[in-house]
Amino acid sequence: MNKTLPRTDTREHLLATGEQLCLQRGFTGMGLSELLARAEVPKGSFYYYFRSKEAFGVALLERYFHALYQQLEAQLRQGEAPPRQRLLHHFRQAEQLFSERGQLVGCLAVKLSAEVCDLSEPMRDALQHGASRIIALYAQTLEADEPLPYAPREMAQLIYILWLGASLQSKLSREAQPLRLALRTLEQWLSTP
């Protein structure tokens, strides 16, 4: 890494490198020594930005959910299709990506949810806060296109729970079938009345 990068770039570089390592090995499997070697950052620099590995994990999750929220918001707010169809398109793309690559791509929420929720209360809080923001965005999208089988907030929670569970099961089985079943259920729930 270029040693003359501004401080914010070094912090971002550590987080980006850490995200890739976490996606490969999980949070507990990612050693600080490996992170620092891969990022080409001295140990002291890490502790300048993060007081601990746990604080790094919280920042990592906040960064991930912030980017996911922005990407999803842009996807759900654009286009001529009705809101439900835009939401379905989001899930269809995710299922297609899994089918093409045979694995979940870049989903830190699925990778870390079960691993860190009992390990770290601050990281669990970051996961919950990020999930809550995504659910709220789903609910806002659904409010624009009622009626639904359930209230928009409940529907959004059901959608998130269904997709998270299907994603985890697809990750475990290394098959797209759980995502396909979830997508079929979403298509039934969100079909225009």
pLDDT of residue 192: 63
CA distances from 73 to 128, 150, 186 (A): 18, 22, 19
Q: Alpha-carbon distance 62 to 9, whole Å?
A: 17
Residues of the chain with CATH 1.10.10.60: 1-49
Q: Alpha-carbon distance 79 to 3, whole Å?
A: 43
Written as six digits, the tokens of 123 are 């990281």
Residues of the chain with CATH 1.10.357.10: 62-190
pLDDT of residue 145: 75
pLDDT of residue 149: 79
Q: What is the mean pLDDT of each run of 10 residues along the chain (193 residues)?
A: 59 95 92 94 91 96 96 88 90 91 82 89 96 96 81 94 94 92 94 67
Residues in the chain: 193
* CATH no. for 1-49: 1.10.10.60
* CATH no. for 62-190: 1.10.357.10
Q: 168 Cβ partners below 8 Å, 6+ apart?
A: 110, 113, 114
pLDDT of residue 117: 86
CA distances from 68 to 107, 118, 130, 168 (A): 9, 24, 9, 18
pLDDT of residue 2: 44
